[in-house]
Amino acid sequence: MDSKHYYNPNGEEILDEKIFGGTPTGFVDFNRSKYKWDSRIYDLMNANTWFPSEVNTSAEKKHFDALTDNEQSIYKMTFAQLSFNDAAQEEYLSDFRQLANNRLLKSVITLQMMQEVNHSKSYAVLLDACGNSEEVFNLYKHDVALNNKNMRIAEQFARHIEGGSVDKMLASAMASVNLEGIYFLLGFAYIYVLGDKVPGARDMIKFIARDELNTHLPLFANIFKTIRKENSIDSNTIDLTYKMIQEAVDIELEYGNYLLDTFPIMGITKELMKQTVYNYANDRLRKIGLNPIFEESQTTYLQKLVSKHLGMNDVKSNFFESNVSNYAKSSIDLDDF
């Protein structure tokens, strides 16, 4: 066994540890952070720790049964897809963590992995309360569009995760920006459209959305920007990141259009979905320091729904099963870095 893999007294100084390349000593020092954003995101993740039992799901089956057939289908298809996203992200993070050199950043990624597992647990709790857990988790076996979206997301994750170069690591980070910043958002919006009809699902999604948008997306946006700052990146790699976000937009809209064609619900149109995804994609490009490329519109109704639920005090906890969880009010402002 090579002990230098875990401890190297001749390794580089902690404040010299870059994200890509180098030889760390093996220490994690939260008092000496090279980037500042990494320890701040860690603290915010930690402060916002929550558990599925804090959401009242006792009446979820009754609420679900009262939905129309199309609403029930949207509910099930949404959670079938979102549950894959979190499960895939947890596995991807384990692989991405091995590419990183900076030990404090590795610690932040470890905490995110725990949160992704918590999200997977939350879907299990919610769907078990609904009485359709086995059906929903097996939908990918029967629905071609769902299986296709999952496969394309997985392929984008896998394409560059073997690393070997800083350009591949940057492209791999972009896959996570797409997951946190594109693939979740319509799903969140669908549940918010159902709103008070399914309060358990709505409140569970509130917790999950805040993790993704307040800490997970900022983490990988900062990873992307920092890798670019610390290294000479080939212009072809930047072109590739634009192709990757175009691919993500296409994947998201293809699945969204399929759901709308198959299970139309009140208040959602194809044009509304397109405007929403385009606006989100442009915002994600700005967050990683690139220029927007999609047609932009005024903030859409679906965006406003998602933003409305980023405040936390309105989440109702089950008094008999848990303590009230007070999700931290602050988030990471990417413009600070």
Residues noted as catalytic? 123
Helix, coil or strand: residue 12? strand
Is residue 96 within 8 A of residue 113, CB to CB? The reply is no
Question: Looking up tokens 């580089």, which residue turns up?
Answer: 12
Question: Looking up tokens 């993070």, which residue turns up?
Answer: 93
What's phi and psi for 24, nearest 5 deg? -70, 155
Give the Cβ contact number of residue 139 at 10 Å. Answer: 19
Q: Is residue 215 left, alpha or beta, with left meaning phi > 0 and alpha meaning psi from -120 to 50?
A: alpha
CA distances from 28 to 4, 17, 220 (A): 15, 11, 20
User: How far apart are the C-alpha atoms of 291 and 281, rounded to whole Å?
Assistant: 11
For the chain, where are the alpha helices, taking DSSP H only? Answer: 37-47, 60-65, 69-99, 103-130, 133-137, 144-158, 166-178, 185-194, 199-211, 217-230, 235-262, 270-287, 301-308
Is residue 224 within 8 A of residue 332, CB to CB? The reply is no
Is residue 207 within 8 A of residue 26, CB to CB? The reply is no
User: How far apart are the C-alpha atoms of 64 and 79, rounded to whole Å?
Assistant: 13
The amino acid present at 165, given as its one-letter code, is S
